[in-house]
Structure 1
Amino acid sequence: MRLTRFEDLAVVPWRNGGGVTREVAARRDAGAGSDFLWRLSIATVNADGPFSSFVGTDRTIAVLAGRGIALRLPDRTVPVTDDSEPFSFAGEAPVHASVMDGETTDLNAMTRRGWFTHRMRRLHQNGTFSIAGVAAETVVVFGGRTVVEGLGDPLAADRFDALVGIAPGQRITVRPEPDAPTYLIEFFRSRGEQKDSKERPETPMS
């Protein structure tokens, strides 16, 4: 388990110039034939434009800051705002994003279908509460300044910092500042996952 500071994450510009991405964590497999089996990132979007296509991937997005974005899919338009629940969709679906009002910061989870599934939840509890690891990989992203206990000495996490690598059976206690949501992202191994794969530890994407 480690605390990842948002300010330390590498910034990668989008090819279309519409924003930048910071990778929080990822799981890769040399024998799976893909860049990642799962990936969690934070994107800052400042212009309208299409989402990149990720064939065979499932995605979930939540707005961390800013008014939000409107996602235009083939059959509907979905507003994703800072007070709406995370929205899930297929990575290969053609999606055009329109920024509602100025810059927005988004949390993005992706899993390669057949290898991992994921669940993203926005936790609104005030006061002190506990989070237990039940998935193969669990990541917590903090929406505001938060005190984290259960790792030895208490840690002070700032906005958009992340606690990565919460294993099954591990438990942490968090005390966020009032009205600061906590984002819980869980990555579950799929039953059909190949058993002879050689997984590599997290490394930054190029």
Structure 2
Amino acid sequence: MRVLRAAEYRSMPWKNGGGVTTEVVVSPAGAGLDDFDWRVSMARVEGSGPFSQFAGIDRTLAVLEGEGIELDIAGRAPISVTRATDPISFPADVPTAAELIGGPITDLNVMTRRGRMTHSVERLVVSNPVEIRTATGTTLVLCLNGDVTVPGTEPVHLGPLDTLLPGPDIASLFIQSVHDTTLFVIRIGGISGND
């Protein structure tokens, strides 16, 4: 079981140079923006404008902080994404622009290389102990707020924006929280045996 602490995440410029992103984890380790299989990151969006494009990548976005954004994906009708809506998935290689609804936001981005990997992102609000089934492949649990504990011989504590990678030998996790806590459960799998 591996814990990634928020204080240890790496900050780097956006691909289009328009802001800064905080990389939570990338696979393979050390991969750059053009050669990752999958990547989990957070970004502070200070103004409206175009998104970076990533050839051959599928992307899911969720709002972590702020009022939200309106996304214009490939010229379709704008879609509102807020802290209350489900994460939205879309191709990262189509023209996409964002309009801030009410000031800066912080978002969560999960990206996988199309044809090699797939992913899903689920938002959970936890107030009572809950069991999270882990998937074949890689499962990550990002704690947005509050404080949660994974009991065990050596209990694991997650604070705000910490991320847990349980490992392939763990079939499920029991999560305990004293107060309402929002978690994002990210499941990443390979295609044709590419885990």
TM-score of the aligned structures, taking structure 1 as reference length: 0.84
Maintained 8 Å contact 2:14/2:52? no
Counterpart residue type for residue 168 of structure 2: A
Secondary structure of 1:40's counterpart equals strand
Counterpart residue type for residue 71 of structure 1: L
Counterpart residue type for residue 116 of structure 2: W
Give the equivalent residue in structure 1 for 2:109: 108
Counting matched residue pairs gives 191
Maintained 8 Å contact 1:144/1:176? no
- Percent identity reads 35
Report the Cα offset of residue 103 of structure 1. Answer: 1.9
Give the equivalent residue in structure 1 for 2:76: 75
Counterpart residue type for residue 3 of structure 2: L
Q: Which runs of 5+ in 1 are unaligned?
A: 194-198, 200-206
Instruction: Summarize deviations over 1:66-101 as a string: whole Å, max 9, x none.
Output: 111111121121111001000000011100012222
> How far apart are the structure 2 equivalents of 1:177 and 1:49?
39
Give the equivalent residue in structure 1 for 2:21: 21
Q: 1:177 to 1:16 in 2, by over 3 A?
A: farther
More deviation, 66-75/108-117 = 66-75
Instruction: Summarize deviations over 1:102-131 as a string: whole Å, max 9, x none.
Output: 221111111101110001000123211122
Give the equivalent residue in structure 2 for 1:167: 168
Q: Which runs of 5+ in 2 are unaligned?
A: none
> How far apart are the structure 2 equivalents of 1:45 and 1:177?
31
Instruction: Summarize deviations over 1:34-67 as a string: whole Å, max 9, x none.
Output: 5101111111111112111111111000011111
> How far apart are the structure 1 equivalents of 2:142 and 2:54?
23
> How far apart are the structure 1 equivalents of 2:10 and 2:103?
23
> How far apart are the structure 2 equivalents of 1:129 and 1:29?
30
1:113-128 matches, cutoff 5 A? 113-128=114-129
Counterpart residue type for residue 188 of structure 2: F
Q: 1:70 to 1:177 in 2, by over 3 A?
A: farther
1:32-181 matches, cutoff 5 A? 34-73=34-73, 74-150=75-151, 152-167=153-168, 169-181=170-182
> How far apart are the structure 1 equivalents of 2:10 and 2:173?
26
More deviation, 85-94/178-187 = 178-187
Report the Cα offset of residue 150 of structure 1. Answer: 4.2
Report the Cα offset of residue 10 of structure 1. Answer: 1.5
> How far apart are the structure 2 equivalents of 1:116 and 1:168?
20
Across the aligned residues of Structure 1 and Structure 2, the Cα RMSD in angstroms comes to 2.2
More deviation, 182-191/142-151 = 142-151
Instruction: Summarize deviations over 1:11-34 as a string: whole Å, max 9, x none.
Output: 11336564321111111299xxx5
